[in-house]
Structure 1
Amino acid sequence: MFNDLKYLKVNLPEDILKLKCSGNFEGAQKLIDLRLEKQIPVAMRKRLEIEKEILTTIKGEYPYSFEQALKIMQDNIKDFTEEEMEELQENSQADWILVDGKVKFNDSFYGSIVKTRPDIEARLKNNVSNDDRGQFLNDNIKDTKENGSASYFIRMKTSVKIKNPGDKLGKIIKVHMPLPIECQQSDIKIISTTPESKYMSSVDYPQRTAYFETKLEGPQEFSVEYSFKSTLTYNNPDPLLVSEEQPKFFTEEQEPHIMFTPYIRELANEIVGDETNPLIKARKIYDYITQNVRYSYMRAYSTITNIPEYAALNLKGDCGVQGLLFITLLRCAGIPARWQSGLAVTPQHIGPHDWTQFYVEPFGWLFADPSFGGGALRNGNTEKWNFYFGNLDPFRMVANSEFQHEFDPPKKYWRHDPYDNQVGECEYEDRGLRREEFKVEYQLLEMKKL
């Protein structure tokens, strides 16, 4: 099914789309099954098969009724009112869909609101500050600029634990766990795996993994311990030094997401205008995204048919959604751009994160992190905003250098995230595991400045 993702660009038949939009997922599934029994074009068959997976996933992403969402807010936010909840819904700051004709809110709506609305965060009943992480990153920016680079040794452990295996005890389970790749990372060492992994893809593989295949023995845990050196050089590229000749690699479309749709073309042209310098064009696009696209936690990427256009139309999205919009707009403007992702790793927090690279001669590949840059701008930190155009901090574990790439070895069943891999993927011999069926943990074992 991985190779069929391009068929997401095919529109759904109107009757199925109507049922989906009203939240009648059972009805939509029924109509899909009826169509699949008929002689239909291959492209439509592939599209409907993918839609069945989307419908299965999307309902579970929106568990809260209006009343339940309101209670969550009132339990955590001082003096929160029903009118405020309605306003958050109307402004799409609280992500919702219709399920069986009723409004349901995304399972991450609360965290998204607290992260992006300082006025609401200030009213938290139990407000725990995360200033230490912000200061840690600010100190690195100062240090990187003063010394011209930053380099750290990082040793960590990632684990996947299978929940409630039920009737699968004694059956074969296959697990794919992310590993660090060669890039700004070097001296990569795989210290141990538990149990012993069956295979590891090469250190330069675009979505590198450790592959486990074993009989399941209870709520089993799979883990990988590894270390690497992360080194970033400070870049302050001068537009006046940009070469006249620029490369054309990494400027193509990649179905179904990195697509130059009519709206993407219009938006790119409006942002860039008559500018011809590729570095200035890239900065204009970075500024547009960081100034206009509001950070928002997202439902599963597998449920979105065109991620960059989603960001462009709704002006909201998380790190990967903003990164894909940046890449797509740059490529549409003729500037090479590509994906990187894995984990953001600091002593205060470890979590999945996505960012980008873009290419301008004579400077080569430069970094851009619209998510971190936009957050800095919202907080009034223009130095940090400027830093994340052209630069990156060394506190990353890079596992993926390409978006939408197959595993080695391939996963047989539908991936929880068909496009990226930060938490791992699992499957039995007869089906894949959904994200709620396994637990992921990260441990920072050692971090030292070099």
Structure 2
Amino acid sequence: MLEEIKYLSVQLPEDIRRQLEAGYFSKAVKLINRRLEGELPRALRKCLELQKAQLPIWEAEYPVSYEEALAVLCLNIRDFTGEEFEDLIEQGVFDWIYSDGKMYFIRTFYENLLKVRHPVTDRLAVPQKPEEQEEKQAVLNRNMNDMKEQGGNAYRIHIRSTLKVKGEEDAGDRITVHLPIPNAGTQVRKIRLIGIPTDAVIAPEGFESRTVCFQRPYIKGDTFTVEYEYENHVAYTEPDPGMVEAKQPDFCLEEQAPHILYTPFIRSLYEEVVGEETNPLLKARKIYDYITLNVRYSYVRKYSIIRNIAEYAGINQKGDCGIQALLFITLCRYGGVPARWQSGLFAAPYDIGGHDWAQFYVAPYGWLFADLSFGGSSHRAGNEERRRFYFGNLDPFRMPANSAFQHEFTPPKKHMRQDPTDNQYGECEYGHRALKADEYEIKHEILEICRIPWEGEKR
């Protein structure tokens, strides 16, 4: 099923593309249906089928009208004006689309202002609590200092994830649920699954997109729970460009349509950012610096309706953690530096939630980390030391469930996933259809997190 995602890189017919850009979705569907009735090249047929399936997601992601968005901003920001709203739109602060010719804004448009602490938020009617930000900064800074002093850090983390299905009309139908669990890799060890039913299918520890899979008849209000404990041991490294070996590996350099492609834009951006540099470590450093200093963090629509994620980041100069990571991976691979995806949960004493980051390989150091969004947030906080730390290093507050991008589950799903690129919050399907994201909810809880002796050697 995931193999078909590559067809999103096929160009849409011009008449359909124009209707979509203007937000006339019903007219676009009509045109798509007419095209699908005739003979078409396989790649174009698959592209149109995927585009048609995505249209309800577009409408769900952008539910806020212009008037509603302005009202929210006026309510929450003192003395906010319509002129300011227009100026912020022109600055590209808000993500919006046309729907039937009118502007509609992404569901997270206001939360995005708060997340990036845009200057306009200095006038919030109810100011944010600075102590919450200070606590987060303190935890990350303390970990960075500890890792530098002792060569690494380690935590034991105990998490419970619960998925609840909301509907009742499909009661009795067979349901399949995949929930993410830790993937043994660069930093994770001693994984212990707790209370998993004997009939559940558990993917192997090193599987690229690791899950526990439940399959049973659905009962109204059904819940599915996984609980696990693991240790995260992360070494601190200061890779030296002078120690980089002449011979480098050639794995993890391939394109992966539709999101990791060496398009003319990617090639041009690479030449502009990296120039004549030949040292692979310095190539990766230049790419990291460019993204963390120039691509601002922003909430975005679902990845399933972005046609090329890496290009989206480079062209729009914005994106969330995964979008920034994909741009880094794509540019590294194009430049001959092996790079790959890693994602799952950020699980710290103060927070838990989905997160994506990257790894890149430089001999003799092996796989190194790059967290572009944490590097960028450190830059916004004025902490250059921490921004540089997240090139080559990672904090131990992670639950990596995925070590590859756009990877199939085991057992594989029959229907297209809500997120075909990644898995942080689980996926559900009945025999006859996939469940939409609003038909189930998932809660991640940290039951225990404690620092333990780091078992490693200074790199």
* Other-structure match for 2:457: none
Q: What is the aligned length?
A: 448
SS at match of 1:266: helix
* Other-structure match for 1:185: 188
SS at match of 2:123: coil
Correspondence 1:405 to 2:407 = yes
RMSD: 1.1
* Other-structure match for 1:80: 80
- Once residues 142 and 25 of structure 1 are traced to their aligned partners in structure 2, the CA distance between those partners, rounded to angstroms, is 52
User: Displacement of 1:336 after TM fit?
Assistant: 0.5
* Other-structure match for 2:54: 54
Of residues 430-439 and 129-138 in structure 1, the stretch that sits farther from structure 2 once superposed is 129-138
- Kept in 2: contact 1:114–1:120 (CA 8 A): no
User: Displacement of 1:197 after TM fit?
Assistant: 5.2
* Other-structure match for 2:150: 147
Give the counterpart letter for 2:13 in structure 1: P
- Once residues 180 and 76 of structure 1 are traced to their aligned partners in structure 2, the CA distance between those partners, rounded to angstroms, is 40
- Once residues 221 and 397 of structure 2 are traced to their aligned partners in structure 1, the CA distance between those partners, rounded to angstroms, is 31
SS at match of 1:166: coil
Question: In the TM superposition, what are the counterparts of 1:76-115 in structure 2 within 5 Å?
Answer: 76-115=76-115
Unmatched 5+ stretches in structure 1: none
- Kept in 2: contact 1:197–1:211 (CA 8 A): no
Question: In the TM superposition, what are the counterparts of 1:282-361 in structure 2 within 5 Å?
Answer: 282-361=284-363
Give the counterpart letter for 2:155 in structure 1: Y
- Kept in 2: contact 1:175–1:213 (CA 8 A): yes
Unmatched 5+ stretches in structure 2: 453-459
Give the counterpart letter for 1:341 in structure 2: S
* Other-structure match for 1:134: 137
Question: In the TM superposition, what are the counterparts of 1:381-396 in structure 2 within 5 Å?
Answer: 381-396=383-398
Superimposed CA distance per residue, residues 155-202 of structure 1 (whole angstroms, 9 cap, x where no aligned partner): 010111111x13112222111100101011100011123x66521111
- Kept in 2: contact 1:171–1:428 (CA 8 A): yes
Give the counterpart letter for 1:146 in structure 2: E
- Once residues 284 and 197 of structure 1 are traced to their aligned partners in structure 2, the CA distance between those partners, rounded to angstroms, is 49
- Kept in 1: contact 2:20–2:28 (CA 8 A): yes
* Other-structure match for 2:229: 227
Give the counterpart letter for 1:372 in structure 2: F
- Once residues 128 and 205 of structure 1 are traced to their aligned partners in structure 2, the CA distance between those partners, rounded to angstroms, is 41
Superimposed CA distance per residue, residues 48-74 of structure 1 (whole angstroms, 9 cap, x where no aligned partner): 111112212111100000111112222
Percentage of pairs with the same residue:
50
Question: In the TM superposition, what are the counterparts of 1:159-308 in structure 2 within 5 Å?
Answer: 159-163=162-166, 165-183=167-185, 184-193=187-196, 198-308=200-310
TM superposition score normalised by structure 1? 0.98
User: Displacement of 1:41 after TM fit?
Assistant: 0.7
- Once residues 276 and 98 of structure 1 are traced to their aligned partners in structure 2, the CA distance between those partners, rounded to angstroms, is 44
- Once residues 294 and 61 of structure 2 are traced to their aligned partners in structure 1, the CA distance between those partners, rounded to angstroms, is 26
- Once residues 156 and 177 of structure 2 are traced to their aligned partners in structure 1, the CA distance between those partners, rounded to angstroms, is 27
Q: Which one of the candidate residues 435, 438, 442 is aligned to 2:437?
A: 435
User: Displacement of 1:400 after TM fit?
Assistant: 0.1
Give the counterpart letter for 2:395 in structure 1: D
- Once residues 437 and 122 of structure 2 are traced to their aligned partners in structure 1, the CA distance between those partners, rounded to angstroms, is 32
- Kept in 1: contact 2:168–2:221 (CA 8 A): no
* Other-structure match for 2:456: none
SS at match of 1:122: helix
- Once residues 386 and 429 of structure 2 are traced to their aligned partners in structure 1, the CA distance between those partners, rounded to angstroms, is 41
- Kept in 2: contact 1:115–1:121 (CA 8 A): no
SS at match of 2:169: helix
User: Displacement of 1:254 after TM fit?
Assistant: 1.1
SS at match of 1:223: strand
TM superposition score normalised by structure 2? 0.96
Superimposed CA distance per residue, residues 404-434 of structure 1 (whole angstroms, 9 cap, x where no aligned partner): 1111011111111001000000111111111
* Other-structure match for 2:19: 19
- Once residues 31 and 40 of structure 1 are traced to their aligned partners in structure 2, the CA distance between those partners, rounded to angstroms, is 14
* Other-structure match for 2:123: 123
- Kept in 2: contact 1:294–1:315 (CA 8 A): yes
